[in-house]
Chains A and B, each alone.
Chain A
Amino acid sequence: MSLSQDDVKRIARLARIEIDDAQAAATQGQLNTIFGLIAAMQAVDTTGVAPMAHAQELSQRLRDDVVSETDRRAAFQAVAPAVEDGLYLVPRVIE
């Protein structure tokens, strides 16, 4: 599999990263090298091997269902760019 420059630009847009054509071309080369590595690994016969979801052979630790957090709004909002009535303000997201 190899990525086109359009694929690279689309991925950049989805990730909200602004890139110009030169950067897209450079990134395309780097990404295709990575895909080349993946292609080489995919040549390995993995018949009968369960897909691995995590690098560690452990299972998820669980928390008891208990409320342990307290209200720290004032501290968190002290570093927010804009707040009002306890809400974080962001640029309007719908018209």
Chain B
Amino acid sequence: MKWETVIGLEVHTQLATRSKIFSGSSTAFGAAPNTQASAVDIALPGVLPVLNKGAVECAIKFGLAIGATLNRVNIFDRKNYFYPDLPKGYQISQLAQPIVEGGALKIVVDGEEKTVRLTRAHMEEDAGKSLHEDFHGMTGIDLNRAGTPLLEIVSEPDMRSSAEAVAYAKALHTLVTWIGICDGNMMEGSFRVDANVSVRPVGQAEFGTRREIKNLNSFKFLQQAIDYEVRWQIETLEDGGRIEQATVLFDPDSGETRMMRSKEDAHDYRYFPDPDLLPVKLDDAWIARVQDELPELPAAMQARFVEAYGVSAYDAAVLTGSRALADYFEAAAQACGQGKLAANWVMGELSAALNRADLGIEQSPVSAAQLGALINRIHDGTLSGKLAKQVFEGLWEGTGEVDAIIEARGLKQMSDSGELEKIIDEVLAANPKSVEEFRAGKDKAFNALVGQVMRATKGRANPAQVNDLLKAKLG
């Protein structure tokens, strides 16, 4: 039987606010345990939550960026469960009236564009952390993370493969970091993915029973966990078994998923509107102000790059992989007025060098202005592509500016045709065999001669000029 995979993702993004969602505690990562946990965060009796305006604005930005409906009135609910890292005994979340509903995100897999619909995004608070090791049989609780604002972003079950799920998660990651509502640091848990996975026979309209893989903190684990889970579900069904609804965990060491809890002991969260918080009201003026603060979005910028700089749609997508990369490209392209060349250099030589050095674009030793200046010298014929790479190395090593490096290393392309003609004459005289072969109709011999001239000029000759002069002399 042929099977079809159905995937929906729930992503918890930590919002990039300075303070927590309901208290004035810092959200900075890595502080000593419980030093950023206030009376509200540890749920001392008699305290009340006060909502952080910054967290609401992050949610508004996200809703605007995905073309969603922003609920003008949205409501906080209590989600009740007992766990020691949740001191109140409930998490403040949004159930029936979340701030964001609907919207969509475009993804590209194997060159094919696809739209993934979003169900909703709601604000909630994060829990603390439990440490199970080394406390003589006890569990240690750190409440620094308790109350950190989250936006939980829920997709429709629109993805049909692990590759599509990863493409969606990456597109979402790019978007939330692009609009500045999340730092995207997956190692620190700022972007955590839960995957709802089911399979069904191809052609069947109803979905199969799903299992939810919790807390995947890398794109690689997301892919591995889904692939394993899909194989396991198909094998179980083909062996005559049934899938029970369950929550599972992925173990990166074994590459397997294992059951955390079944539906029988699924939580009964007993949601109800939180009486400590009033409905949140958004007005048009506020939304318009937030809209004004939104940067140009990746999709719009891609279209503009194609239009303004003549780069391909694929290149535009690569160049808008992050806002820093897009800004770098645009600055370089504007510095030289050569969009396509700038794109080639940013995605080629520069990206390769950054990868080798394990640096991000933000840490590039070569500035966009320098790269633009380098491209100018290629465009005006001063440098060949080969010489330009040497200048690039000089820029990378910080030995000076473009023109100074060209001067210091004697890399200027020969523009004096008299000098070049003299060298060509010498090469022709030294290689009578190649000349003979060329005259006998062998094109390869011509290339060999070009190579000899380039060698004699130490690569400083303009290849096009060499071609022309050689043809004239042999013609």
Chain B interface (Cβ < 8 Å from any Cβ of A): 17-19, 23-26, 32-39, 42, 44, 50-56, 73, 75, 80, 82-84, 97, 130-132, 135, 137-143, 268, 270, 273, 275, 277-281
Contact = CB atoms under 8 A, between A and B. Distances in A.
A6 to B, nearest CB: 14
Contact of B17 (A53, A55, A65, A92): A65
Chain B contact residues: helix, strand, loop or mixed: loop
A62 B278 CA distance: 10
Given A14-B270, A60-B51, A60-B278, A91 B97 contact: no
Contact of A86 (B26, B32, B55, B73): B32
Given A53-B75, A69-B24, A76-B34, A88 B143 contact: yes
A51 B43 CA distance: 29
Contacts of B84: 88, 90, 93
Nearest to A50: B73
Given A14-B270, A68-B24, A82-B138, A73 B35 contact: yes
Interface in A41-76: 53-56, 58-69, 71-73, 76
Interface residues of A, number: 35
Contacts, number: 127
Contact of B33 (A58, A86, A91): A86
Nearest to B128: A88
B283 to A, nearest CB: 10
A54 B26 CA distance: 29
A87 B141 contact: yes
B19 A68 contact: yes
Nearest to B84: A90
A20 interface: no
B141 A90 contact: yes
A64 B83 CA distance: 30
B464 to A, nearest CB: 58
B449 to A, nearest CB: 69
